[in-house]
Chain A
Amino acid sequence: MSELFMQQVVAGFATGAIYACMALSVVMIYQAIHHLNFAQGEMAMFSTYIAWQCMAWGLHWVLAFPLAIALSFVGGFLTERIIFKPIQRAPVLSHIVVFIALFAIFNSLAGFIWDFTIKNVASPFGDGSFMGSTLIGKHQAGMICATILMLIGLWAFFSFTRVGLAMRAAAANPESARLVGVRVATMTALGWGMAAGIGAVAGILIAPVVFLEPNMMLSILLYGFAGAVLGGLTNPLGAVIGGFLVGVIENLAGTYLDWVIESAFAGIGLVVHLHGMFAEIKLTIALLVIIVVLVIKPEGLLGRKIVQRV
Chain B
Amino acid sequence: MSDTTFSTQHPSATSRAARAYDPVPAPRPNVLSVGNVISLIVLGGLIVIPFFAKAYYLYPFTMIVVYSIAVLGLNLLTGINGQFSLGHSAFLAIGAFACAILIRDVGIHYMLTLPIVAIIAFIAGFLFGLPALRLEGLYLALATFALAVATPQILKIGLLEGWTGGVQGRFLFPDTLDPVVPFGLNIDPAIFRYFFTLAVFVVIYILSMLLIRSRTGRAFMAIRDNPIAARAMGINLPRYKATAFGISAMVTGVAGALYAILVTSVHPDSFIFTIAILILVGMVIGGVGWLPGCLIGGISMVYLPSMAEYVDDLVLAIAEPLGIADLFPSGSEMQSEFNRLSYFIYGVILILIIYLAPSGAGGLLRAVVTRAKRLFS
Q: Say yes or no: is A114 at the interface (Cβ < 8 Å to chain B).
A: yes
Chain B residues with CB under 8 Å of A87's CB are 354-355
Q: Which A residue's beta carbon lies closest to that of B133?
A: A295
Residues A104 and B350 in contact, CB atoms below 8 Å apart = yes
B residues 144-185 touching A (CB-CB < 8 Å): 145-147, 149-150, 153-154, 156-159
Of A108, A222, A277, A291, the residue contacting B342 (CB under 8 A) is A108
Residues B158 and A275 in contact, CB atoms below 8 Å apart = yes
Q: Say yes or no: is A225 at the interface (Cβ < 8 Å to chain B).
A: yes
Of B22, B153, B277, B354, the residue contacting A280 (CB under 8 A) is B153
| Complex alpha-carbon distance, A98 and B141, angstroms | 13
| Complex alpha-carbon distance, A225 and B144, angstroms | 12
A residues 253-295 touching B (CB-CB < 8 Å): 274-278, 280-284, 286-287, 290-291, 294-295
Residues B150 and A283 in contact, CB atoms below 8 Å apart = yes
Q: Say yes or no: is B223 at the interface (Cβ < 8 Å to chain A).
A: no
Residues A101 and B351 in contact, CB atoms below 8 Å apart = yes
Residues B135 and A38 in contact, CB atoms below 8 Å apart = no
Known: A275-B158, A309-B14, A310-B11. A107 touches B86 (CB 8 A): no
Q: Say yes or no: is A298 at the interface (Cβ < 8 Å to chain B).
A: yes
Residues A36 and B138 in contact, CB atoms below 8 Å apart = yes
Residues B157 and A281 in contact, CB atoms below 8 Å apart = yes
Q: Say yes or no: is B137 at the interface (Cβ < 8 Å to chain A).
A: yes
Chain A residues with CB under 8 Å of B9's CB are 175
Residues A92 and B21 in contact, CB atoms below 8 Å apart = yes
CB distance from A270 to the nearest CB of B (A): 15
| Complex alpha-carbon distance, A225 and B139, angstroms | 11
Residues B350 and A97 in contact, CB atoms below 8 Å apart = yes
A residues 67-126 touching B (CB-CB < 8 Å): 83, 86-87, 89-94, 96-98, 100-105, 107-109, 111-116
Known: A98-B350, A108-B341. A91 touches B22 (CB 8 A): yes
Chain A residues with CB under 8 Å of B154's CB are 281, 283-284
B residues 1-21 touching A (CB-CB < 8 Å): 8-9, 11, 14, 17-21
Of A86, A219, A287, A298, the residue contacting B355 (CB under 8 A) is A86
Q: Say yes or no: is A185 at the interface (Cβ < 8 Å to chain B).
A: no
B residues 320-353 touching A (CB-CB < 8 Å): 327-331, 334, 338, 340-348, 350-351, 353
What size tier do the contact residues of chain B reach? 35 or more
Residues B131 and A291 in contact, CB atoms below 8 Å apart = yes
Residues A111 and B348 in contact, CB atoms below 8 Å apart = no
Residues B11 and A309 in contact, CB atoms below 8 Å apart = yes
Chain B residues with CB under 8 Å of A229's CB are 142
Q: Say yes or no: is A241 at the interface (Cβ < 8 Å to chain B).
A: no
A residues 213-239 touching B (CB-CB < 8 Å): 218-219, 222, 225-226, 229
Of B11, B19, B153, B355, the residue contacting A284 (CB under 8 A) is B153
Chain B residues with CB under 8 Å of A281's CB are 153-154, 157
Residues B288 and A93 in contact, CB atoms below 8 Å apart = yes
Known: A175-B8, A281-B154, A287-B147. A115 touches B330 (CB 8 A): yes
| Complex alpha-carbon distance, A90 and B135, angstroms | 20
Q: Which B residue's beta carbon lies closest to that of A89?
A: B17
CB distance from B19 to the nearest CB of A (A): 5
CB distance from A195 to the nearest CB of B (A): 16
| Complex alpha-carbon distance, A116 and B355, angstroms | 31
* Residue ranges of A at the interface with B (Cβ–Cβ < 8 Å): 35-36, 38, 83, 86-87, 89-94, 96-98, 100-105, 107-109, 111-116, 175, 218-219, 222, 225-226, 229, 274-278, 280-284, 286-287, 290-291, 294-295, 298, 308-310
* Residue ranges of B at the interface with A (Cβ–Cβ < 8 Å): 8-9, 11, 14, 17-22, 78, 84, 86, 131-132, 134-135, 137-139, 141-143, 145-147, 149-150, 153-154, 156-159, 228, 273, 277, 280, 284, 288, 327-331, 334, 338, 340-348, 350-351, 353-355, 358
A-B pairs, top 3 by smallest CB distance, nearest first, are A277-B158, A105-B347, A108-B344
